[in-house]
Amino acid sequence: MSVDVNIEWNSTAFNGRVMAPSHFEDEMWHCWDSSGEDVACE
């Protein structure tokens, strides 16, 4: 099985975002902060 996933992260601050339509069932970015907690994307 193959799926498309886009991940962007900051290797210094450890925050980032992921877009995975097959997992989240949408085409929106889902973000996390430097603690690894889910946050609203800006």
How does pLDDT run across 3-26, given as a tens digit for each residue?
A: 899 999 999 999 999 999 999 999
Give the global pTM.
0.86
Distances, alpha carbon 30 to alpha carbons 1, 12, 27, in Å = 22, 19, 9
How many separate domains does the chain show? 1
What range defines the domain where residue 35 resides? 6-39
Residue 22 lies in a domain: yes
**Token pair 């889902």 in the structure block, residue:** 30
Q: What confidence score (pLDDT) does residue 31 get?
A: 98
Residue 1 lies in a domain: no
Residue 13 lies in a domain: yes
Tell me how many degrees the CA angle 8-12-13 measures, rounded to the nearest 5: 75
Residue 20 lies in a domain: yes
DSSP helix/strand/coil, 6? strand
